Amino acid sequence: MNKLKVFISSVQSEFAQERQMIFEYLMTDALLGRFFEPFIFEKVPAVDKSVSRAYFDELKRSDIYLGLLGKEYGFEDSEGISPTEREFDLASTEHKIRLIFIRQHHISEGHPKENNLIEKAEDVVVRKKFSDMSDLKTSVYAALVNLLEEKELIRSGPFDATICKDATIDDIDPERIKWFVETARSKRGFPLTPESLAKKILTHLHLIKGGKLTNAAILLFGREPQRFFITSEVRCVMFHGNEIRKPIPSYQVYKGDLFYLVDQAVDFVLSRIDLYVGDRSQSVDVPVEYEIPRSAVTEAIVNAIAHRDYTSNGSVQVMVFRNRVEVWNPGQLPHQLTLAELKKDHESFPANPLIAEPLFFIGYIERLGTGIPDMVKNCVEAGLAEPDFAQEASFKAIIWRKTSVTGEVTGEVTGEVERVLYVMQGELKRSEIQKALDMKHDDYFRLNYIIPALESGCIEMTFPDNPNHPNQKYRLTNKGKALQKQLENPKK
């Protein structure tokens, strides 16, 4: 087997030690040395042609361009272009695999032309930041091993297809499987019925191998997934301003199966962004619209949960700021995709295909790579700026909010209670209030909306002596009616 040739940039003195370290590492590592042949500037032989020409000829013969970018721009030729930028442009023109590693520093410390080069690289390739030699070494190793897996030069199945050690069928929640089948049948025409045996359903979804449960089976349908995967959780937090700063008004850590995590995280965001209610004079069903479309929030969160690296010690994080919502996941874009390509229709490259399939069946994701383009379209149609995406230690999706954020109007009740007041009309069942507010998770809605609204004295039960009455409904109290009018006419 011919080795893949790795052209290690840059010629500037800033990375002399790093170039030599990577060269020696690829030459001596037991795994990488089998598949890669490194090249650095210092190894250019004395030949009868210019050094620059020999160097670029070597780049053309290479399979991979490994670029190092930092603060310095380096020597500039007669056109004011550095050799490093020339290398990057040639690697792009020659359609080489480009792996870019950027030394962490504040943008003010970098040469303006180097900053521009970094920005150019970020637009077209996947890149990784590093802080020191050890960090760089780890990042290079991870990138090259990932490349070998994508090229199928080494085979190690995806994480979600790996057998979950010590897990048994008793660790599976049959009620969640029944809920899944009912939902999947209505959404996508799933062929099996809720009465089918759990093993048959899991086998149909390829979640059992050799009679043993896969990691995906536990993450999707486990009674206690975090007993096996402690970082399979979603951390949700809200900040008062546009920066991560204390005090923190709301912080929640959600645990459970992946469907539960999606619903809880989405409901958390919707509970903390602005809500607009239409004219209630024409119909009892009041039209409700969130400042960020629910579909956009769901897409960002589902992507983070479906595509994250479950071997990482990190967790998915959802942060609500005054001007944006950020969703972080400990994962990397596949080498086939760039940040710029994400906003266009693109082929789907799921990091966890066995997890992605059930999420598709219940309508949480699409198969054809249209989710993020639709997310962008929906945000723009809602009058928002296009979402942004960034790949650093974690992958980030950033959804921008409207510049005018109203917040809570009354100052007497929580935002969740305000939302209940917005949609109350006559006597309504809990499920009707929940549906009007587009909340999916029953327990979350009861704990965060109904109970606080009751405790605040804004709503009351129609059967107060029998909370579990089958015909139980809720209606506004006099206090609730007064606050509802205040919400509708805040200036009065």
Neighbouring residues of 165: CB distance < 8 A, sequence distance ≥ 6: none
CB 325 within 8 A of CB 297: yes
Domains of the chain: 4-150 (3.40.50.450), 159-227 (no CATH), 234-400 (3.30.565.60), 415-488 (1.10.10.10)
Residue 412 vs residues 43, 298, 324, 476, 487: alpha-carbon distances, Å? 72, 30, 25, 16, 11
Half-sphere exposure of 391 (CA within 13 A, CB side): 24
324 bridge partner residues: 400
- Say which residue the tokens 């009861």 belong to: 446
Q: What is the pLDDT of residue 402?
A: 83
Specify the long-range contacts of residues 377-380, CB closer than 8 Å, at least 24 apart.
Answer: 378/293, 378/295, 378/296, 379/292, 379/293, 379/296
Report the C-alpha gap between 234 and 420 in whole angstroms: 25
Q: What is the pLDDT of residue 147?
A: 86
DSSP 287-341: -EEESS-HHHHHHHHHHHHHHS-TTSS--EEEEE-SSEEEEEES----TT--HHH
- Averaged pLDDT in 10-residue chunks for the chain of 492 residues: 86 84 92 92 60 82 93 90 92 92 90 92 79 88 85 72 91 96 93 93 92 95 96 94 88 95 94 77 67 93 92 92 94 79 78 89 77 90 91 89 56 78 88 87 86 90 91 91 78 46
Q: Dmax of the chain from CA atoms?
A: 97
Tokens in use for 303?
């992507």
Tokens in use for 426?
């006559």
Residue 243 vs residues 198, 236, 248, 321, 433: alpha-carbon distances, Å? 46, 15, 11, 7, 33
